[in-house]
Structure 1
Amino acid sequence: MDTRRQGLARQLVPFLAVAGVSAALWAGWLGWDQERDVHPDGSTTGPYEAWQVVGLGVCLLALVWWGTRYGTRRGWRAEIALGVSAGLTGAAFLDWSDDASGLFMVGVVMVAAGSLAATTLVSVIVRSHFSDPSC
């Protein structure tokens, strides 16, 4: 395999792995809960409970921390943040695409933008903290 293909593989494999793990985390925390809660006054909430979203966030934070911490040594720069964002965006699209109003795309775009911003911020913080060889 030539050097160019090896470089592409070194970038693509971690991206796809992190995207797959992120999508699996979405499915594990949020994907199974599809029913809205109807309150006595007729209002609805959900389908997700706060503990589900917090659980997903904590797992994703750990994934980004680990991926950035150990991926920096392997030359991964943007693969972790982009992989998490791609996995969550794809999972949100698949999970919400049965919405007849078409407004699900607004949520999907918000997931894409928010996850990319958050994972980039966490990656920068982790990378700056662990760039010191004494850590």
Structure 2
Amino acid sequence: MSQRPLKLVPQLMAILVPAVLALAVWAAWLGWDQHRDVQPDGSETGPYEAWQVIGLVLTLLAPVYWAASRRYIAGAVLGVTGGLTVAAYYDWSDDSSGLFMVGVGMVMMGSLVVTGVASAVIASVRTRADSSRQRS
């Protein structure tokens, strides 16, 4: 009997775990805040504060590290990017102007680039650490 299906499970988990965590982290940091702040000049800001977005990014480092340190680079990148894209689409889809898709696209492209770079750095550092341990 072939062992191939068993090898697929870790790869699938490397995508699903970061995706589900990205959805949950979005809900925890950003999903509850839907209120826009009106400034004295009448302009609106928000709904998110900088500390919320920073918290989201820092929290997402954990699932990216988890997947990238196991050399599932695609899982880290696709999982987090997919989770954030779905969360942004769901959260912003009630916008009647249709411009929410621009924001969703920016979230998708930004998270794709950032998780790609972070995953490559993590995997590279992990590979160097493993090779130096083997030499000792």
TM more than 0.5:
yes
Superposed displacement of residue 27, structure 1: 0.4
Structure 1 ranges of 4+ moved more than 3 A: 1-4
Shifted more, 112-121 versus 54-63: the winner is 54-63
Residue 45 of structure 2 corresponds to 45
- Alpha-carbon distance in structure 2 between the residues aligned to 1:35 and 1:2: 54
Superposed displacement of residue 8, structure 1: 2.7
Residue 111 of structure 1 corresponds to 107
Q: Name the % identity.
A: 53
AA matched with 2:23: A
Q: How does 1:41-120 map to 2 (within 5 A)?
A: 41-69=41-69, 71-72=70-71, 76-120=72-116
Which structure 2 segments of 5+ residues have no match?
none
Superposed displacement of residue 12, structure 1: 1.3
Instruction: Select the residue among 115, 119, 123 that pairs with 2:119.
Output: 123
Superposed displacement of residue 41, structure 1: 1.3
Superposed displacement of residue 2, structure 1: 4.2
Q: Deviations over 1:25-56 (max 9, x none)?
A: 00000000001001121110000001001111
TM score, norm. by length of structure 2: 0.89
Larger Rg: 2
Asked if 1 retains the 8 angstrom alpha-carbon contact of 2:17 and 2:63, the reply is: no
Residue 22 of structure 1 corresponds to 22
Q: Deviations over 1:59-108 (max 9, x none)?
A: 11233123312x22xxx231111100000000000000000000111111
TM score, norm. by length of structure 1: 0.90
- Alpha-carbon distance in structure 2 between the residues aligned to 1:21 and 1:2: 31
- Alpha-carbon distance in structure 2 between the residues aligned to 1:110 and 1:36: 20
Counting matched residue pairs gives: 131
